[in-house]
Every structure is written in C-alpha cells, then in structure tokens.
Chain A
C-alpha cells in the first residue's frame, strides 16, 4: 500500500503538488509512481525560467528499463529544478514526497484553480482502481 499524504494534491498521471507559503508549488512523483518505475538512474528536471502549460512533458525520470515523462500538473513558470537529483536520482525512490521533489513553479494567474487536481482520497481511489 503506497503512502498518499493528505496535505498534497495529485494528478491521474501520478504527480503530486504541494502549495508552498509563498504561493509557488512544489511538484514531484508519487510513491506509487517511483515504485512502479523501479530504481531511478537518471532524472532530468526543467531549467528555472521555463514556462510550462498544464499537461506538457516537463521532466524525465529514467530507470534501467524505461524513461518516463513527467507532466506539468499546473501551468506556470519554473522557479527551480531540483539539481541535486542529477547526482542522486535515487532520492526520488527514497523520499518521493520530500527531498525527491522535481521542480518548483509559480502558477500562472488562475492556473491553480483551473488545474484538474485530485485530493489524496480521490487519488487513493485511482490507485485502488489500478490495483495499487
């Protein structure tokens, strides 16, 4: 049973979104996603300043077997990519909701409200339906 923290929001494609005190959001992949991918050997995060549209591929998480896209849950401008992951991609496996964050972005005006994000309870239902 994967952990699904109640204070985060989620997408169907297994990203999580944390709203920070300054109004920016932190984005990562869920514990379920990192488990499904297996041991990560490479993570590619976006550069600060890149402007993303919701649903756009914005990062790549690569295991020995597959490289998967991560999609922007919210439209906005990237304020930081987690550069630490370049040297230590396994952090996404060991701490997917914490030090394994992928990027922070400043949502475009109204983008957060417009985004199709799920509560922890709804995301848990998605996982249950997938048999996870």
Chain B
C-alpha cells in the first residue's frame, strides 16, 4: 500500500474542519520559554562514511578494559549462536508487528520467552517484556496500587538497598500519579533488618519492594519480609537478577505465599553491555492480577481449523483501547532483545544458567578475598553475596579508580555519592567471564595504586 502524504489542500481542509488557521496554532499552549528557537548547537549532518568513521573512533576511545563493573548491568559470556540467530532476517525487528497474528513465529517466540521467565520467577504469567528493569519496577508499583484493593493509601515501601537508579526512575514515572514512596533503610550487614518494619505497624501499606540480591549484592531475608507484608495485606514486588534465579529461590516461592509481582533487568540473558542499552525488563505476576499487568501478553490458542496458534490476548486494558485509562501508556516490549534472551536461555538450559550463576558467585568470592588482602581495603558487609559486593577504602576512591582506569581496569562503581554513610565505598562485580589471572591483575594494580596514593 502506497503512503500518500497530505497535500496542502488536504491540510487546509483538515484545519478548516477543526477551526484552526495554522498547524502552529495547535501548539499554542506550549509556553514560549519551553520552545527551542534555534538548533545552532546541533552540528551539520554527516554522510554515512563520515558517521561510520566518527563512531568507530568513539568506540576505540572506550577501549577494551578489564571490567569489574556491575551495578545492574553484567558482563556474561554470550554464546556466538545467540546473535547469529537473533539477527536472521526472520527475527530482525525491534517490535511486535502491527498485524501481530500474521507473524506467528514472532508470537511463538514471545510466548516461549514468557514461559521461560514465568518459570524462572515461579509465577504464573509474564508479559512480553518492558523497556528495562528500572521502568519495570516503576510499572510494578503502579500495578500494585491497582491490584491491591484492600489498600487505599497508594503507599509503597522501598528499601534504600534497592538500586538508586531504579528508585529514581520509579519516582519520576509516578510523580504525578499520587504514589507515595516510603524509604526503608538497611542494617549494619547491608540488608533490611525485618525489625525496622515495626514502625509501619498498623499503617496502610500498598506494597513492599524487595530487591534480591540487593544493590550491594547482599541477600535479603525474603521469606520474613514477604510474610510480614502479606500479614498486613501489602503486596510484595520482587526485583530480581534473572541469572541469580538459577540458584536462589524464585520470587513465587518466597515466604508462605510468594511474591505477587516479579520484575527485573533482562540484560544478563544474552544482551551485550553496549554502553548501557538498549536492555529489556521483564515482569511476571499471579493469574489473579493478570488484568492489572501492563504491556502485551501473547497467548496460545486454537484457530478455526483446530490448529495451535498464538495471539495477543487480554488487550482490553491496553492503550490503543483504554487510552488515558490504560494500565500503562509508556511501556512497550523489546522484541529484538527478548529474541536474544529466549535463544540465550534455550542454549544455556537450566543447567547452563546454574553453572553461570555458580561460577559468577565463585569468582566474586575469589575477587573479594583477593582485594581485601590489599592494605586499606575491607569488605563492608560480611555475609551472603551474589554477583557483587561493597568494599570500603581508607582513602578517597576517585584517584584510585582513575589510576586503575589508566591501566585498563574498570575497578567498579564508586557508590559514595549514593550512600555517603558508607564512606569511600566501591561496588565490585565478578562474573564467570573473569579468570584468576584477571583477578590477580586487578589486585596488583590496586595495591600499587593505593601505595602510590599513600606515598603522595
């Protein structure tokens, strides 16, 4: 079908029909101070050859550092087959096609993705994915307010041990929707002290968010926290690392009743770090809340001839139908990344994912043991960790990290700005991609950097 742009006569007729003289008049409610008057700061357009050269120069300046950064994005080995299959023409699209049912292969893939994520999290239903882990958590908070009909406070308890960026995104997303986020601190061991919940006794709490493992890599007492929330008619939102679920108890089995909604960042499942995105989020819930879950859901059905088929289902509350009253007007699925994740999970299998998780855990223990042998470095929170841990330093971190970077090592994330109470605190991460030699290289470089700092 040809795309026929509107002629000036068409435009004039449409404007006349709605009683507006110029298209510009449709935007007259935007105040002048918010309007961009000039695009002078935007450079001239480049042609394909020029932009290709610029991009490869920029990419080179990133280098190929040895990275011990985690904090929400994790460097895992991605089998070569994952992206070789994902980039086949049949899959290579960023979006669910508009005539979705005409693309049965795409719908089957999403259905299988949903099945895998539902099984990983131990909950009944999954959606077709979301933008990223942070926006999935924000959507889960909004969903909890809709789903928890026993609560009228729209009040969500969010521990400060939840990723600071996730908390910021949740606040920004819900700022104009009447939600109240109440902060919950962490104890001396870097996890939530269930006793600290006592101050909320007798209050109307809509939901409790629990990140497992938390931002510091520490394991929360999810069973006690889940039971506490459920006894007070609050829902439980689990924020989880999918790789960790190969070893840890799935949210659907937390405590007596299990978490009500599980969300997380899907990047560890076959998506490269690529400077921070695009990634994808996932969300699962119990069957009883499926109508409050945002996003698309693919279901399996029979066609008129009795053959198996796949279809978008439960769309009645999506934005193309419910408009402003839709469950969400800002979510989408990340088709291409979900394709990669589904292929990654199929290739790894439950055993492969478990081995990845176990190897990551072993590497982290090796890393923290090595680095805490360096004078002036100590482990902030003793106890069970997954993927990452917090180290405390006896002197300013910034120059130490700069010195490591000069040696081609990304030493971790300085979290002193997020948590001033922790002093000079570094979040370090190790996955199965790090070898003992890598860890030794980091330890030696750190020892030298600290020695130099002490001497200066």
Chain A contact residues, CB within 8 Å of chain B: 41-42, 44, 47, 62-67, 69
Contacts and interface: CB of A to CB of B under 8 A. Distances in A.
Lowest 6 CB-CB distances: which A-B pairs, in order? A67-B316, A67-B317, A62-B316, A66-B321, A66-B316, A47-B149
Nearest to B316: A67
B60 interface: no
Nearest to B291: A42
B165 interface: no
A64 B322 CA distance: 13
Interface size grouping (class) on chain B: under 10
B150 interface: yes
A63 B291 CA distance: 12
A12 to B, nearest CB: 19
B316 A64 contact: yes
A44 B325 CA distance: 15
Contacts of A64: 316
Nearest to B150: A47
B106 to A, nearest CB: 22
A65 B291 contact: no
A62 B321 CA distance: 11
11 contacts: A42-B316, A47-B150, A62-B316, A64-B316, A65-B316, A65-B321, A66-B316, A66-B322, A67-B291, A67-B316, A67-B322
Interface centre among A41, A47, A67, A69 (most CB of B within 10 A): A67
A69 B291 CA distance: 14
Interface of B: 149-150, 291, 316-317, 321-322, 325
Given A42-B291, A69-B325, A63 B316 contact: yes
A62 B149 contact: no
Interface centre among B316, B321, B325 (most CB of A within 10 A): B316
Given A67-B316, A67-B321, A67-B322, 6 more contacts: A42-B291, A44-B291, A47-B149, A62-B316, A66-B322, A67-B317
Contacts of B325: 69
Nearest to B292: A44
Nearest to B327: A67
Contacts of A69: 325
A65 B317 CA distance: 9
Contacts of A63: 316
Contacts of B317: 62, 67
Nearest to A61: B316
Contacts of A47: 149-150
Contacts of B149: 47
Contacts of A67: 291, 316-317, 321-322
A42 B322 CA distance: 15
Contacts of B291: 42, 44, 62, 67
A63 B322 CA distance: 12
Contacts of B316: 41-42, 62-67
Nearest to A42: B291
Nearest to A67: B316
A69 B317 CA distance: 11
Contacts of A44: 291
A41 B315 CA distance: 12
A62 to B, nearest CB: 5
Nearest to A64: B316
B110 to A, nearest CB: 20
Contacts of A42: 291, 316
A67 B146 CA distance: 14
Contacts of A65: 316, 321
Contacts of A62: 291, 316-317
A41 B321 CA distance: 16
A64 B317 CA distance: 10
A67 B322 CA distance: 7
Nearest to B326: A67
B151 to A, nearest CB: 11
A64 B291 CA distance: 12
A113 B322 CA distance: 32
A62 B318 CA distance: 12
B332 to A, nearest CB: 20
A64 B314 CA distance: 7
Contacts of B322: 66-67
A42 B317 CA distance: 12
B86 to A, nearest CB: 33
A66 B322 CA distance: 7
B444 to A, nearest CB: 62
A41 B314 CA distance: 10
A42 B314 CA distance: 10
A25 B63 CA distance: 72
B125 to A, nearest CB: 15
B323 to A, nearest CB: 11
B154 to A, nearest CB: 14
A29 to B, nearest CB: 16
Contacts of B150: 47
Contacts of A41: 316
Nearest to B321: A66
A41 B316 CA distance: 10
